[in-house]
């Protein structure tokens, strides 16, 4: 649970990645010494590269999220098992205490009956 910000960190990374790519493409377009056709081709190629990089990063982020989800499930199962064990121990202690209370009450009842006779 300590890594709750991983999702927002990944989202921030993607946003920065895409904005940086767009700004880089715009700057390249403005300062390019090539012809318009060459510049458009370069922008198209750069867009393809950016999309491929974004897809790769998304895949990596998805794999990371799946691993974290599996880890969280395993931890939840572990906590649930520990809680069940604790509940069973508590129930056993309570049953023992009730039995001892019944024995003590029966003993006291017997003692009172003996003292009346």
The burial class, CB within 10 Å (0-12 / 13-18 / 19+), for 42 is middle
pTM, two decimals, is: 0.48
pLDDT at residue 2 is higher than 50:
no
The pair of structure tokens assigned to 7 is 């999702």
Per-residue model confidence (pLDDT) at position 11: 73
CB atoms closer than 10 angstroms to residue 49: 11
**pLDDT tens for each residue of 15-73:** 777 778 777 777 776 776 667 787 788 878 888 998 898 899 899 999 999 999 999 99
Q: How many CB atoms lie within 10 A of CB 31?
A: 8
86 pLDDT more than 90: yes
For 9, the token pair is 């960190």
In three-state form (DSSP H/G/I as H, E/B as E, the rest C), the secondary structure along the chain is CCCCCHHHHHHHHHHHHHHHHHHHHHHHHHHCCCCHHHHHHHHHHHHHHHHHHHHHHHHHHHHHHHHHHHHHHHHHHHHHHHHHHHHHHHHHHHHHHHHHHHHHHHHHHHHHHHHHC
**Residues 88-113: tens digit of each pLDDT:** 999 999 999 999 999 998 888 888 88
């Amino acid at each position: 649970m300590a890594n709750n910000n991983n999702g927002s960190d990944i989202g921030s990374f993607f946003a920065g990645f895409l904005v940086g790519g767009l700004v880089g493409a715009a700057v390249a377009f403005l300062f390019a010494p090539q012809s318009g056709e060459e510049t458009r081709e370069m922008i198209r190629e750069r867009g393809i590269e950016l999309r491929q990089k974004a897809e790769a990063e998304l895949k990596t982020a998805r794999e990371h999220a799946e691993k974290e989800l599996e880890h969280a499930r395993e931890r939840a199962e572990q906590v649930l098992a520990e809680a069940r064990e604790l509940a069973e121990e508590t129930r056993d202690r309570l049953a023992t205490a009730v039995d001892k209370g019944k024995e003590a009450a029966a003993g006291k009842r017997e003692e009172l009956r003996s003292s009346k006779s």
